[in-house]
Structure 1
């Protein structure tokens, strides 16, 4: 909750007039406790997860019904049926509500301890961009090693195989995983803000950003790079990075999609693995 009763008090504390964004933040958050602001993470997470993949999902279903080509897909021969979208969405939303939600609500003391703030002034665009860049690097490095550990036999069989059920991923399948994996991968995502504390609005942006601008950054891997990891299936020992490619390059686990070759077993026409490979 902001310690200012009026906009004039807020401007006096900041030492200048508020920007339009700061004025909007003041009007919205002045009377809301900090804990409630942090709790926004859960509905925002569900909203972004529901809406961000929806246009491409509807496009794929529409073109599938009319037997039209799918040029936007990396594996255009795979056509997910409506049941696959519904199953994926329902399973992931359930995990987000029942596993991620309680952890988000219980982690507020840690957020306060590392110095996440809610007051004025708001961070500049440059400050936000620099912080998100650090978070991307930290998350990518830690996530790389966690991903490799999840491909060890025990972890894969008991946890990570769920994420690999989709050998041809689509938007809703990005966070589709065992509840334990989603919680484990929350650690590298939170590590960046813990190292470089930020404003609550940056936290919202970092955890919920639906569009990925990092494709314009050198060493970016992204969707196509990770698609090969799923294309190969459960025995894949390459392309573990989630954002960049430097960890795979340094540790010798980078592979190009063209290297898949004819020996790779594809999933069936609906994009699911056969249960043995995955």
Structure 2
């Protein structure tokens, strides 16, 4: 009986769970997530392959996992009152067509880059082992990434609205004047690489300068960035949307106007670049701009 039970729960030492058991025996100071992480790399026996598979699977799960709830919300009439352009609900046909291009881009443009990520990370000294960094270290590094990415996104996105670049590259992304979550990465391969550089470069830069960055921080950052991009394209404005609590946060209300009017609101996460450089878009921004102009003209008359 005991031997039968043992055989049922036996894990071969060269299996993933066998590696997990072995690591757990001699690394009791590690938490369960760190053991799971270490077991994955020990099981794969190839760091490039281990990072590549983990990165790509994580990206796909997060991207579509976050997009599907918005697709469901689009089909529920109750939420229509929160839709910014509520006369433009994407059809299933539109969403399927969008998903096809996004998947094509993921497998032909993003997958090769993801596969090259581990060698690049190692070249710049990014840590991949255990233990994981402290929570505060992860938090402040991701805050820095958000600021740097937003700056890159503002200027590169604004450049993509220059006539020739818009026509040849960025126009694809603006096919949907009323965006939806799945369309966050609906773009030409060139745009995916240009704007994607803003996501990858800040961590690499921080790692090269400080010599202190763990790939786990990179993963959490990418998850946060995907959530931000998908939510900004969701097309929904709720009373609990983040910008009501953080006025400098952009969000769907900010980006939806950009898709509707095809100009202004170039930032990704924050509003300050558009505010400082007077590229805010929408009725409120136009009203403020007009009031400033009238006040300036009044001073000249005096």
Assess same fold via TM > 0.5: yes
Looking at both structures, which has the greater relative contact order when contacts are Cα pairs under 8 Å and sequence separation is at least 6?
Answer: 1
Select 1:29's aligned residue among 30, 38, 41: 41
- For residues 285 and 151 of structure 2, the distance between their equivalents in structure 1, rounded to whole angstroms, comes to 24
With structure 1 as the length reference, what TM-score do the two structures score? 0.80
Select 1:179's aligned residue among 182, 189, 192: 189
Match of 1:253 in 2: 279
Select 1:244's aligned residue among 270, 276, 292: 270
Match of 1:264 in 2: none
Match of 1:49 in 2: 63
Match of 1:271 in 2: none
- For residues 223 and 277 of structure 2, the distance between their equivalents in structure 1, rounded to whole angstroms, comes to 29
| Residue ranges of structure 2 left out of the alignment (5+ in a row) | 1-18, 208-212, 229-240, 288-302
Select 1:205's aligned residue among 216, 220, 225: 220
Structure 1 residue 118 displacement after superposition: 1.0
Give a deviation string over 1:88-115, Cα, whole Å, max 9, x none. 1111111111111112213433221222
Structure 1 or 2, whichever has the larger Rg, is: 2
- For residues 106 and 21 of structure 1, the distance between their equivalents in structure 2, rounded to whole angstroms, comes to 25
Structure 1 residue 177 displacement after superposition: 0.6
With structure 2 as the length reference, what TM-score do the two structures score? 0.74
Instruction: Give SS of 2:80's match.
Output: coil
CA spacing shift, 1:76–1:224, aligned 2, 3 Å: same
* Superposition CA RMSD, Å: 2.4
Structure 1 residue 162 displacement after superposition: 0.4
Question: Map of 1:109-124 to 2, 5 A cutoff?
Answer: 109-124=119-134
Match of 2:144 in 1: 134
Asked whether the equivalents of residues 48 and 119 of structure 2 are also in contact (C-alpha less than 8 Å), the reply is no
Match of 1:268 in 2: none
CA spacing shift, 1:69–1:48, aligned 2, 3 Å: closer
CA spacing shift, 1:103–1:69, aligned 2, 3 Å: closer
- For residues 101 and 214 of structure 1, the distance between their equivalents in structure 2, rounded to whole angstroms, comes to 31
- For residues 219 and 161 of structure 1, the distance between their equivalents in structure 2, rounded to whole angstroms, comes to 27
Structure 1 residue 58 displacement after superposition: 2.0
Asked whether the equivalents of residues 61 and 82 of structure 1 are also in contact (C-alpha less than 8 Å), the reply is no
- For residues 198 and 126 of structure 2, the distance between their equivalents in structure 1, rounded to whole angstroms, comes to 17
Asked whether the equivalents of residues 34 and 118 of structure 1 are also in contact (C-alpha less than 8 Å), the reply is no
Instruction: Answer 1 or 2: which has greater helix percent.
Output: 2
Instruction: Give SS of 2:133's match.
Output: coil
Give a deviation string over 1:135-184, Cα, whole Å, max 9, x none. 10110001111001101111000000000011010100111111110011
Match of 1:61 in 2: 75
| Residue ranges of structure 1 left out of the alignment (5+ in a row) | 12-16, 262-278
Matched length: 246
- For residues 69 and 128 of structure 2, the distance between their equivalents in structure 1, rounded to whole angstroms, comes to 33
Match of 1:270 in 2: none
> Which deviates further from its counterpart, 191-200 or 171-180?
191-200
- For residues 51 and 195 of structure 2, the distance between their equivalents in structure 1, rounded to whole angstroms, comes to 19
